Structure 1
Amino acid sequence: MNMMVRQDTLATDSLAQIAAGLKLGPLQEPEAVSFTFETIGWPILGGLGLLGIVVLVVLQVRAYHKNRYRREALAELENVASGKRPLFYSFVLLKRTAMHAYGRDTVGQMYGKSWYTFLDKKAQGVGFMALEERIDRLIYQDELPEEQVKTAIITNTKKWIKDHATR
């Protein structure tokens, strides 16, 4: 083992002696690479980022305008909830909102059980079928329901207007 170490040392020493004999001078280091945004990739990346932001803003504005009918219906529903409008007006709002979302041909002729089933299918978590009898009495016999049913009707109407799936 001592012999090996000694040979490695001799080989290294002889290389050092050879390099010293060449008189190469000091080691030349390259200049530091500057980090700037002057390359073409950065403007392209910035342009793509800006384009992405513009597209997102345009989509948000379109969605906002597209859902204007929902906001207007919810504002009118607040008049029903506060007592400024009669309770049956909530069904006028539902019909108007559904016609806007699904078209007059699809919704215009619906009433009764088929109408309540349609409402329940188009939004999750609403239960107009469970209130069918009380709603029919309200609409056709002008019989005001108890406060609990009134609250359920307004809550379901609000949830349907907010959450119904469009086409």
Structure 2
Amino acid sequence: MNEEWKGLSLAELIDLLEPAPEPAPISMAPQTLGWVWLGLFALALLSVLVWHLLKRWRRNAYRRAALGELTRSAPDASSLALLVRRTALAAYPRAAVASLFGDAWLTFLDKTYGGSGFSDGPGKALATAPYQDETSGEPLRLLVKEWIKKHRRELPDA
């Protein structure tokens, strides 16, 4: 034992100790190339997902506009018929939609959303609404709302 340490108490000896050196900070960077590749893959996957969601959101802009107009439109059958026609023209090629009228128009509407509410239900009023002054009820408004939300953009088989 060193001469200068003789006669010191344990507490005084402990005070003479040098503190242990602190370890180097741990890096948050990936240490192996596999983690870098995994991170890049996850970033690419997230980018593709965001791109697809944005594309889908833009593709359905006409639906959001039509639903907004439906809430602001008058409850008569002629304005609902015009709204459905304009929505169909936005969703489908003009050549496939513009020439349809009467029963062919109602059949087209039924095929595109998978129901029969236009040919057999309150949607019949849409075929004659532009030519007559008809009042529509809430069932027609709900049917139009359902069609706007659920119609498929693929053309039905003829």
Distance 1:56-1:76 versus aligned 2 partners, 3 A rule:
same
% identical aligned pairs: 35
Structure-2-length-normalised TM-score = 0.71
Q: Deviations over 1:7-44 (max 9, x none)?
A: xxxxxxxxxxxxxxxxxxxxxxxxxxxxx931110000
CA shift for structure 1 position 132: 5.5
- Structure number with greater Rg is 1
The one-letter amino acid paired with 2:37 is I
CA shift for structure 1 position 125: 3.7
Larger helix proportion of the pair = 1
Distance of 2:77 and 2:85 partners within structure 1: 14
CA shift for structure 1 position 139: 3.4
Is the 2:123–2:143 contact (alpha carbons within 8 Å) kept by the matching residues of 1? no
Structure-1-length-normalised TM-score = 0.68
Residues 10-49 of structure 1 mapped to structure 2, 5 A cutoff: 37-49=30-42
Distance of 2:125 and 2:49 partners within structure 1: 45
Q: How many residues align?
A: 125
Q: Which of structures 1 and 2 has the larger relative contact order (alpha carbons within 8 angstroms, sep 6+)? A: 2
CA shift for structure 1 position 99: 1.2
CA shift for structure 1 position 60: 0.6
Return the match for 1:162 from 120, 142, 149.
149
Is the 2:105–2:127 contact (alpha carbons within 8 Å) kept by the matching residues of 1? no
1:120 aligns to 2:101 (yes or no): no
Aligned counterpart, 1:91 = 81
The one-letter amino acid paired with 1:141 is Q
**How large is the Cα RMSD of the aligned pairs?**
2.0
Is the 2:70–2:83 contact (alpha carbons within 8 Å) kept by the matching residues of 1? yes
Structure 2's unaligned 5+ residue stretches are: 1-28
Return the match for 1:142 from 133, 136, 144.
133
